[in-house]
Chains A and B, each alone.
Chain A
C-alpha cells in the first residue's frame, strides 16, 4: 500500500506541475499566473515530500516486495543505513532530487515577498517545467516504487563502503546545493521573460545562490573528508569525474554569487549574471548526468545505464538549450548596467568571474574530453590529476592573488593607493617565502606559492574589517572576511599536506616500535573483533607525539552481505596535523602498517568550514537587512 501511495503522490505532483506550467504559458492568464501557481507549487512540494517519505518508510521497514529495496537493502543493516539507503541508489537519489526541486519551488512560492507578481508567475512556470522533466524521468524510466513478485527472502544489501555516516548525509547536502541553483535558474528565466532584470531580481536570487553555495561547499568538503578516511589512501582530492561533477556547479555558483552581489548593490553586470545563473544550474545537470549515466571512466561509477544517461542528456539539452535561446533573444533588451572604472571593486569582481569561468571551462573540458574523443574516434582514454593540477593550480593561485587586493577596492572607481592595506600581506608573504626557502628548499613550486599566498591572504582577508566599528560592520562584510579567510586556511592546508607529508610503510611484528615525523608508534597487538554485519582484524597502536599517549585501532573489515573487505583507517588528530594509520595484510608473522604524518592537513576542511560559515553569516545578514528595509518602508508608508 505504501509503495502505491508513494507512486500516486508522484503522479499527482506531476499533474500539478503540468497545470503550474500551463497557467504561466497562457498569455491571458499571465498577470494572475502567480496567484494560481502559488498553491499549485506548494501542493506539488508537499506531494513529492510525501512520496519520498513513503520510500523512506519502505526502506526502514525493509519491504522486500519493492524491487528497489530488495536490490539495495538488507534486514541486518543498522537502522541509520537502512534510512540512508533510501538515497544510496539511483532511483532513490533521483526521487530525492525531485523532492528538493519541488520543495524549493514551494518555498519560492510561499516566501517570495518582493518579487513582482508577473516575474514570479513566469519563474514558477520555469520551475514547473524543470520538475516535469524529472517527474517524467522517474515515472517512465526509474520508478522507485516498482514491485517485485515474488518478494525475495532477503535483500542484497548496501555496498559497505557506503555504510558510513559521512556518506549517508553527503548526497542530500550536495543535492540541496545542486537543486537550489534551479531556483536561481528559474528566476533568471522568469526575469528574462518579463524583461525585468535588475537589483530586485538580484535581491530575490541572492539568498538562493548563497544557500546553494553553502550546501555545495559543505557537501564537497564532506565528500573530500569521506574519501580521505574511508578509501585508505590518504588523498583528499582525486579529480575524479564524480568529484568534478560537484566542483563545477560550485565554481559557477561562486562566480554567480559575486556577480549577483554587483547586480544587487550596484545594478551592474546584468546580462552577465543571467548567463551565470543559466550556466550554474546547467552544471548541476551536467553533474547529475555524469554521475547517473556512469558514462565516464570513474572509480566511482555508480550507475551504468545508457538509457537513463540518454534521458538526462535530453533533459539537459532541452533546458539548457531553451534557456540559452531565451537568453540570446532577450539579452539585448536587458537594461544597461551601472558604469564602473577598470580599477574598482566591480572590475576586480569581473576579473574574479573571468578566472572562475576559465577554471570552470578547463575542468569541464578535461572532464568531458574522454567522452568527446570516444564519440569522435572510438578511442577510450582518461584525463587525470596531471592535467588538472597543471592547468587549475596556477589559475587558482592567480585567483588568490586577486583575493588579496579585490575586497580592498572601492565601488565604481578606486583612486587612493592601497599601500597601507596591502603592506601586512606583502610582509607575511615575503616572510613565508624566505622561511620556506631556508627551511624547506626541496618542496614543489606550486606548494611553495600556495603557502606564500595562503599566508599573505590571512591578513588581507581581515583588512575589510580593519578600522571599522566591528559591531556596526554589516554581517555581509563579516561573511566575506570569514569566507576569504577560509580560502586562505584551506590553501595553507593543501600546500602543507603536499609539501610536508611523511610516510612510513612497514611490515611489523606486534611489540615493535615505529617512528614517523614527530610521532612514535608502538604496535601492541592484533585481535579479531566483530560488528553488527562484519568481522574484522584490529591492530592496537599506542601513538605519542611529545607527551601524552593515545590508542589507535585501524581495522581490516570483512562484511557478510555482500561479502566485501574494507579497511577502516584510524586517525589521531593533533593541533598540528593528523597521524593516519592503515592496517594491511598479514605476511608471515608480520602485518603491513602504513603510517602517514600529515602536518596541518586538517586546515583543508577547517577552511572549507569557514567558507561555508562565511556564506551562512552573509545569508543571515541579508535576511536581516531585507527585513529591516521592508519594515522601514512599511513605516514610511503609514
Chain B
C-alpha cells in the first residue's frame, strides 16, 4: 500500500498526534498511582500511605534515635519532619553523609508501622535537604536552638 504524498503527510501527522496523546495517557496512568512517591512522616501519620507500596521517605534523622542492632548490619532510627516521626529500619551500609540531625531520603516500604528501607540515598552534597522539607525543618531547627 502506497499513499499519495498529501495523504502520506496526513497519515504521518495523525500518527504523531495519536502517539503523543497515547504518551500523555500513558503518563497520566502511570502518574496516577505512583506520583505520591515521596512522602514525609506527616503523610504517614495522616494515613495517606498504603503499606507495601514502594516509597521514598524524606526527613531528618532525629537526634539520639540512631541505634545499631546486634547483628551489626541493621540500623534503627527515627525520621522526623518536625511534626511527626516514623520509625525506620535499614539493613545495610548507609552512605557516609548519613548521620543524626541531617537530612535523609530512604527508599523502601511501610510494614506494620515501621518504614523498612532497602536503600538510603547517597547525596552529592552534605548541605542537601529535600526541598519538601526545607522550610519546615529549618524553622523547627531554629526554634530548638532558641529554646536551648
Contact = CB atoms under 8 A, between A and B. Distances in A.
Interface of A: 159, 161-162, 231-233, 235, 269, 271-272, 297, 299-302, 336-337, 339-342, 350, 354-355, 357-358, 361-362, 365-366, 369-370, 373, 380-387, 390-391, 413, 505-507, 556-557, 562, 564-567, 582-585, 587-588, 590, 592, 594
A440 B31 CA distance: 32
Contacts of A382: 37-38, 56, 132
Interface string B89-130: 001111111000000010100000000000101111110101
Given A358-B19, A361-B24, A587-B72, A413 B2 contact: yes
Contacts of B23: 357-358, 361-362, 365
Contact of B96 (A339, A385, A556, A590): A556
Given A299-B121, A566-B96, A567-B96, A506 B2 contact: no
21 contacts: A159-B124, A159-B125, A161-B125, A272-B16, A297-B130, A297-B132, A336-B9, A339-B2, A341-B2, A357-B16, A365-B31, A369-B31, A370-B35, A380-B38, A384-B34, A387-B30, A557-B96, A564-B126, A584-B73, A587-B72, A594-B93
Given A339-B8, A391-B27, A297 B123 contact: no
B15 A354 contact: yes
Interface in B1-30: 1-6, 8-9, 12, 15-16, 19-20, 22-24, 26-27, 29-30
A386 B54 contact: yes
Given A342-B1, A366-B30, A592-B72, 7 more contacts: A161-B125, A235-B119, A299-B122, A336-B5, A565-B97, A566-B96, A567-B96
Those 4 A-B pairs whose CB atoms lie nearest each other, nearest first? A507-B72, A584-B93, A565-B96, A361-B23
Contact of A594 (B6, B12, B34, B92): B92
Given A350-B12, A369-B31, A381 B97 contact: no
A162 B23 CA distance: 36
A369 B35 contact: yes
Interface in B61-93: 68, 71-73, 91-93
Contact of B123 (A299, A341, A386): A299
A380 B37 contact: no
Contact of A339 (B5, B56, B95): B5
B24 A365 contact: yes
Given A361-B27, A507-B73, A588-B72, A383 B34 contact: yes
Interface residues of B, number: 52
Contacts of A592: 72-73, 93
A275 to B, nearest CB: 8
A236 B121 CA distance: 13
B36 interface: yes
A362 B27 contact: yes
B47 interface: no
Nearest to B133: A380
A381 B93 contact: no
A380 B3 contact: no
B91 A301 contact: no
A339 B12 contact: no
Contact of B38 (A269, A297, A366, A556): A297
Contact of A387 (B20, B31, B105): B31
B46 to A, nearest CB: 13
Contacts of A350: 12, 15
Given A336-B9, A342-B1, A384 B122 contact: no
A505 B72 CA distance: 10
Interface in B127-142: 128, 130-132
A194 B72 CA distance: 70
Nearest to B20: A361
A592 B131 CA distance: 31
Contacts of A383: 31, 34-35, 37
Contacts of A159: 124-125
| Residue among A358, A366, A584 facing the most chain B CB atoms (10 A cut-off) | A358
A565 B123 CA distance: 11
A272 B12 contact: yes
A563 to B, nearest CB: 9
Nearest to A275: B16
Contacts of A369: 27, 31, 35
A584 B95 CA distance: 9
B25 to A, nearest CB: 10
Given A231-B95, A365-B23, A567-B96, A390 B34 contact: yes
Nearest to A557: B96
B124 A567 contact: no
A507 B92 CA distance: 10
Contacts of B124: 159, 161-162, 299-302
Contacts of A556: 96
Contacts of B30: 362, 366, 387, 390-391
Contact of A366 (B1, B27, B92): B27
Given A297-B130, A588-B72, A337 B5 contact: yes
A339 B124 CA distance: 52
A269 B16 CA distance: 12
A370 B132 CA distance: 11
A590 B119 CA distance: 22
B1 A232 contact: no
Contacts of A582: 93
B73 to A, nearest CB: 5
A136 to B, nearest CB: 28
A533 B97 CA distance: 18
B16 A354 contact: yes
B92 A387 contact: no
A386 B105 contact: no
B128 A299 contact: yes
Contacts of A271: 9
A564 B63 CA distance: 19
B118 to A, nearest CB: 10
A350 to B, nearest CB: 7
Contacts of A357: 16, 19-20, 23
A566 B96 CA distance: 5
Contact of B105 (A299, A365, A565, A585): A299
Contacts of B128: 299, 301
Nearest to A242: B124
Contact of B2 (A233, A301, A340): A340
A380 B16 CA distance: 32
